[in-house]
Every structure is written in C-alpha cells, then in structure tokens.
C-alpha cells in the first residue's frame, strides 16, 4: 500500500491547470499575445495525471498535444479563461496557474479590420483595460471555501525574482508560488524552478520540463491537507 501511495500521490484528487498565453483581439485579424508556449503547464497536466489525479487543462492558443487522460478546454482570451476557470474551480482540490494571462486587453473591439489611410501616417492608438486576475479570484474563493482548491501560482520576472515572487505569494494569498529561474524559458524544453512558500525556498535545478513537473507534483501532493 505504501508503495502504491508513493507512486500515485494524487490518487482521488482533482487538479485544474491553466496553460499557455491568452490572445486579446484588436480587430478581426490582429491581437495582443505573448510568447508562452504552454509547455510547462502541459507537462504539469501530464505529471498530475501520472500521479493519479483527475486533470482538467484550460489552454490558451498553443500548438501542443493533449496529454493522455487529461480533459482539455481551449480558450482564446483572458475573459474566456477566467470564465472557464471560475465556473468550476470550487470543485477541484488543486489549482495550478501556469498561464501567461495577458494583463491588459484592448478596451474596445473593432468590428472590422483597421485600414491604413492614404496620406495619413498617424498610427492608430488603443486604449487598454486590465484583465481580471484569475489566480487571485480562485485564491479568494478558496479562502471562503475552506482551503479548496490549494492554489499554486507561477511568477515570470525579468528582475528581482525572489522579491517579486514573495510579493505575489502574499498579494494573491497563495500557499505556494513557483518562480522561473531559467533565463528565457519561453518555448524551451528545459527550465529551472524556485519553489517559494512561507517557510522558505527550494530550488529545482535545470532539467527537462517534464521532470520538473513531476517533482513539482510531488511537492504539491506533500503539501495537501489530508482532509481537503
């Protein structure tokens, strides 16, 4: 029994994961997005499934195959991702937010393609409006619903990694945040991670994203309250 529990530490648990970028349309042919490949989130989905969990993956626009046994919902925009997550998050034991959610979207959607105007060299300008914070909203929900789901955030920073990761841990009231240590991790197959919680830090050194995902899943499983 001990060995079986070791091998499948998330048996009987459910895990919801966001992955990839979001795409925020400007007009019917253009939009704002970012360079997230979704690889880390898809690797975590696969690792959580291997660990025995029932896994739902909410994916932005990415070119990746769905890991075997994982339920996948595709979305484009941050608002769609927010709706897809918040409508079911309370039913999950764990929420892992790996998505690089666009922080802002164009305030107005232009119905037709924006055209250049002959003789007018002035570039168009757009007003942006802030997207909802999916992770913070799920975390607030878990605070009122007795610690469920257990929320894991990711932090993408270009400087002062640990300081910013700690700030996010506190601001979003998370039990655990994962900081990307690897330089320019977007799209790469490997990475290095720094796990940050109230107790301290633990580094997961440079490795394949799937190996890192498997270690992270073990760390999450260890932290889950038995009675969640």
Among all residues, which ones are annotated catalytic?
34
Listed in sequence order, the residues at least 6 apart from 7 whose beta carbon sits closer than 8 Å to its beta carbon are none
Spatial CA neighbour of 58 closest among 82, 90, 94: 82
Of 72 and 164, nearer to ligand CTP (C-beta) is 164
Of 105 and 148, nearer to ligand CTP (C-beta) is 105
Of 52 and 178, nearer to ligand CTP (C-beta) is 178
The arrangement of strands across the sheet holding 201-208 comes to: 71-74, 54-59, 14-19, 94-97, 150-155, 176-180, 190-196, 201-208
Query: Which of ligand CTP, Ca ion, none sits in contact with 99, Cβ below 5 to 8 A by type?
Result: ligand CTP
Instruction: Find the binder of Ca ion among 103, 190, 215, 219 (CB under 5 A).
Output: 103
Spatial CA neighbour of 82 closest among 66, 99, 65: 99
Q: Pick the piece of the chain touching ligand CTP (CB under 6 A) from 2-10, 97-105, 182-190, 210-218.
A: 97-105
Instruction: Find the binder of ligand CTP among 10, 19, 75, 134 (CB under 6 A).
Output: 134
Verify binding: residue 157, Ca ion, rule CB under 5 A: no
Range 149-208, binding ligand CTP (CB under 6 A)? 153-156, 168
Pair type for strands 30-32 and 94-97? unpaired
Verify binding: residue 135, ligand CTP, rule CB under 6 A: yes
Q: Residue 72 CB, nearest distance to ligand CTP (Å)?
A: 17
Verify binding: residue 101, ligand CTP, rule CB under 6 A: yes
For 158-169, b/e burial (b = at least 16 CB within 10 A) is: eeebeebbbebb
Q: Where are the alpha helices (DSSP H) in the chain?
A: 2-7, 39-50, 78-86, 134-144, 161-171, 209-223
Listed in sequence order, the residues at least 6 apart from 171 whose beta carbon sits closer than 8 Å to its beta carbon are 136
Site pattern 44..83 for ligand CTP (x: CB under 6 A): ----------------------------------x-----
Burial of 145 (0-12, 13-18, 19+ CB in 10 A): exposed
Q: Is 133 annotated as a binding residue?
A: yes
Of 37 and 52, nearer to ligand CTP (C-beta) is 37
Q: Which residues bind ligand CTP (CB under 6 A)?
A: 18, 78, 97, 99, 101, 103, 131, 133-135, 153-156, 168
Binding residues for CTP: 103, 113, 132-135, 154, 168, 172
């Amino acid at each position: 029994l001990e060995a079986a529990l070791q091998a499948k530490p998330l048996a009987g648990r459910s895990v919801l994961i966001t992955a990839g970028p979001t795409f925020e349309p400007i007009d019917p042919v253009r939009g704002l997005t970012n360079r997230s490949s979704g690889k880390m989130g898809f690797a975590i989905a696969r690792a959580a499934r291997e660990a025995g969990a029932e896994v739902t993956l909410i994916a932005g626009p990415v070119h990746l195959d769905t890991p075997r046994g994982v339920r996948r919902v595709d979305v484009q925009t941050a608002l769609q991702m927010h709706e897809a997550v918040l409508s079911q998050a309370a039913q999950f034991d764990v929420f892992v937010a790996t998505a690089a959610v666009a922080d802002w979207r164009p305030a107005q959607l232009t119905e037709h393609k924006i055209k250049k105007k002959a003789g007018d060299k002035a570039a168009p300008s757009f007003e942006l409006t802030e997207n909802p914070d999916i992770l913070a909203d799920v975390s607030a929900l878990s605070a009122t619903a007795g610690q469920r789901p257990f929320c894991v955030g990711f932090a993408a920073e270009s400087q002062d990694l640990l300081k910013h990761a700690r700030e996010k841990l506190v601001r979003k009231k998370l039990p655990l945040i994962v900081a990307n240590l690897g330089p320019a991790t977007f799209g790469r197959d490997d990475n290095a991670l720094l796990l940050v919680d109230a107790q301290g830090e633990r580094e997961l050194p440079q490795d394949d994203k799937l190996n890192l995902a498997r270690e992270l899943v073990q760390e999450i499983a260890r932290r889950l309250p038995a009675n969640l």
